[in-house]
Amino acid sequence: MTPQELKASILQLAIQGKLVEQRPEEGTGAELLEKILAAKGAKGAKGAGKGLTRRRGERGGQATPSSHVSCSMSTLPSKTISAHSAAPREEIPDSEKPFDIPESWVWVRLGEVVFNHGQKKPTGDFSYIDIGSIDNKNQRLSDAETIVHPENASPRARKIVQKGDVIYATVRPYLHNVCVIDREFSREPIASTGFAVMACADCLDNKYLFYFLLSPDFDRYANSSENAKGVAYPAISDKRLYDALIPLPPLAEQKRIVAKIEELLPYIDRYEKAWSKLEDFNKRFPGDMQKSLLQMAIQGKLVDQRPEEGTGEELYRQIQTEKQRLIKSGKIKKEKPLPEITPDEIPFDIPESWAWVRLGEMSSLITKGTTPRGGNVSYSDKGVGFLRAENVAGLDVLDKSSLKYIDEKTHLGALRRSILEANDILITIAGTLGRTAIVRYDDLPLNANQAVSMVRLVDAKAVSLKYIVIALNSPVIQRLLTKQRKVTAIPNLTLEIIGDCLIPLPPLAEQKRIVAKLEELLPLCERLK
């Protein structure tokens, strides 16, 4: 269960009367409703009142039993009482009631138990409360005040609000822009007409109303297609809002419900932090596990070593013998010797039967691609496949979904230096660095641009190409490569950095067993994503 689901569950239990017990001595919701309606009726009969807000100073403290509660509305202007209070009360049919409530509670319409203070056009500086003033993650009003001069006022700045009111954004109600006005202001507060302003008489706890408006049941009501009209900015009308059903418990029980919710909320917050950490861990785990497996593989910790398979040093000498033969026969060029590997360069320990070698020592060619003259203008819808860095997707993935094409004349002419062959290892050397792939026979013909380096091994059968790619993708080797990158407008790796790259070399048979083990384990990491 997510933290949001847990909170929603608690709020739903609260408005169903299942969060705290019912106490007969606290009276009933029906008795409380009678007092609310009587107070509203009495005030409406006077008809001349000008200033009717709830009696102040009585929101907190211990509630008295409902049978002794009197609903004071002595300062609420009668003209602001909801239209629902003017008409005779109609019984709510059972078919409308969304769930069962305790016998001591009663279903009422929201408009029967809340009020508003009307609207006015500001004539002096005022504190403007608009939708952006609400922190809709925590349902709190921003501490900052927005002071507006009347000549600069938005035409939507009209609704009068007071401390203790509950405001609810009727536009896009799924965003939960709702809060209790919990403080005084330096200027008269005026809210946007995008809010419904709900003032509560003494018989309705404003925090109980606030939590009801956040409950799943009311959320479904406010956002239903019958009530929230519009496509881009669905909104619920005031009439539909005030027609909503709200379960009314005795006042003392309302306060106990609020107290219990606020007792539980810190635990939900703690749960959310733990949940977020777990979610983050779960998101990172497949990738972290993949990296750990690759690192274990090139440290000789994934499969056992077998003396009968020989050593990495023997394999290295075999490769060097073949390289010298190819140089003598003129098939490859003799290159400047690479520097010897010093102890300070070695990043981690490897088995005694392995050897540290440089990638350039195992290679007959390390080069990079070329971009055709004219750039994108040279591309066509068919012809020879032309790789860019985005096509080299990582580990051993060649993504040809966005492959560009060049004509065969350009491929064999101006770009002949970057013609790819089967078994070439590709490495991205510009932008996102160090992604790899292997060219297969089925991929040909192919060419590549300057963001892609190609490494052609002396003898592709003397080593496992997949093992070399695994080594290049291991966390430590990746760090060593990218640490040496050239920092320009677009970070890049030089061919010298590629050639100097250290590779831990096991015997060929062990390379193959490492690859087989990873091919067994890495798909499990993918399934966890």
443 DSSP assignment: G
CB 356 within 8 A of CB 504: yes
Q: Give the pLDDT confidence of 101-137 residue by residue, as tens digits.
A: 999 999 999 999 998 899 999 999 999 999 999 999 9
In a domain, 188, yes or no: yes
The CA distance from 456 to 461, in Å, is: 12
Q: Quick one: 48 and 115 in the same domain?
A: yes
CB 369 within 8 A of CB 449: yes
In a domain, 526, yes or no: no
Q: Is the pLDDT of residue 394 over 90?
A: no
> What pLDDT sits at residue 44?
54
Which burial class, exposed, middle or buried, applies to 387 when counting CB atoms under 10 A from its CB (0-12, 13-18, 19+)?
buried
Among residues 77, 105, 100, which one has the least CA distance to residue 162? 77
> What pLDDT sits at residue 48?
34
Longest dimension (CA), the chain: 114
In a domain, 12, yes or no: yes
Q: Quick one: 195 and 318 in the same domain?
A: no
Among 3-7, 229-233, 359-363, the minimum mean pLDDT is found in: 229-233
Contacts of 184 (CB under 8 A, 6+ apart): 163
Q: Quick one: 264 and 304 in the same domain?
A: no
HEC string for 26-76: HCCHHHHHHHHHHHHHHHHHHCCCCCCECCCCCCCCCCCCHHHCCCCCCEC
Q: Give the pLDDT confidence of 367-389 residue by residue, as tens digits.
A: 999 988 877 778 888 899 999 99
The CA distance from 369 to 173, in Å, is: 55
CB 295 within 8 A of CB 521: no
Q: Quick one: 229 and 372 in the same domain?
A: no
Q: How confident is the model at residue 481 (pLDDT cuts 50, 70, 90)?
A: confident
* pLDDT mean across residues, the chain: 88
Range of the domain at 359: 300-508
Contacts of 454 (CB under 8 A, 6+ apart): 365, 366, 367, 368, 369, 418, 420, 424, 425, 426, 427, 439, 448
In a domain, 451, yes or no: yes
Rg (alpha carbons) of the chain, rounded to whole number:
37
Over range 17-46, report the average pLDDT: 84
CATH number for 59: 3.90.220.20
> What pLDDT sits at residue 298?
96
Q: Quick one: 232 and 322 in the same domain?
A: no
> What pLDDT sits at residue 89?
75
Q: Quick one: 216 and 304 in the same domain?
A: no
Q: Which amino acid is at 528?
A: L
The CA distance from 352 to 342, in Å, is: 17
Among residues 187, 212, 296, which one has the least CA distance to residue 16? 212
Over range 352-381, report the average pLDDT: 90
Q: Is the pLDDT of residue 164 over 70?
A: yes
Q: Which amino acid is at 314?
A: E
The CA distance from 104 to 24, in Å, is: 8
Q: Quick one: 323 and 247 in the same domain?
A: no
**Reported pTM:** 0.65
Q: How confident is the model at residue 496 (pLDDT cuts 50, 70, 90)?
A: very high
Q: Give the pLDDT confidence of 260-304 residue by residue, as tens digits.
A: 999 999 999 999 899 999 888 888 888 899 999 999 999 999 999
What are the structure tokens assigned to 457, written together?
A: 């091994």
> Which residue in the block uniquely carries the two structure tokens 């609400």?
134
DSSP string, 284-326: HHHHHHHHHHHHHHHTT-SS---GGG--HHHHHHHHHHHHHHH
Contacts of 353 (CB under 8 A, 6+ apart): 305, 307, 309, 310, 311, 312, 506, 507, 510
In a domain, 126, yes or no: yes
Angle subtended by helix axes 3-15 and 251-298, to nearest 10? 160
The CA distance from 409 to 507, in Å, is: 42
CB 181 within 8 A of CB 167: yes
In a domain, 176, yes or no: yes
> What pLDDT sits at residue 64?
41
Q: Quick one: 363 and 402 in the same domain?
A: yes
Q: How confident is the model at residue 232 (pLDDT cuts 50, 70, 90)?
A: confident
In a domain, 110, yes or no: yes
CB 393 within 8 A of CB 427: no
Q: Give the pLDDT confidence of 35-60 residue by residue, as tens digits.
A: 888 877 765 554 433 333 333 333 33
How many residues are there in the chain? Answer: 529
What are the structure tokens assigned to 293, written together?
A: 């497996």
CB 364 within 8 A of CB 456: yes
Q: Quick one: 234 and 117 in the same domain?
A: yes
Q: Quick one: 376 and 504 in the same domain?
A: yes
Q: Quick one: 260 and 318 in the same domain?
A: no
> What pLDDT sits at residue 58?
36
> What pLDDT sits at residue 378?
83
Structurally, the chain folds into a number of domains equal to: 2
Q: Quick one: 486 and 413 in the same domain?
A: yes
The CA distance from 438 to 469, in Å, is: 8
In a domain, 523, yes or no: no
Q: What percent of the chain is predicted at pLDDT more than 70?
A: 90
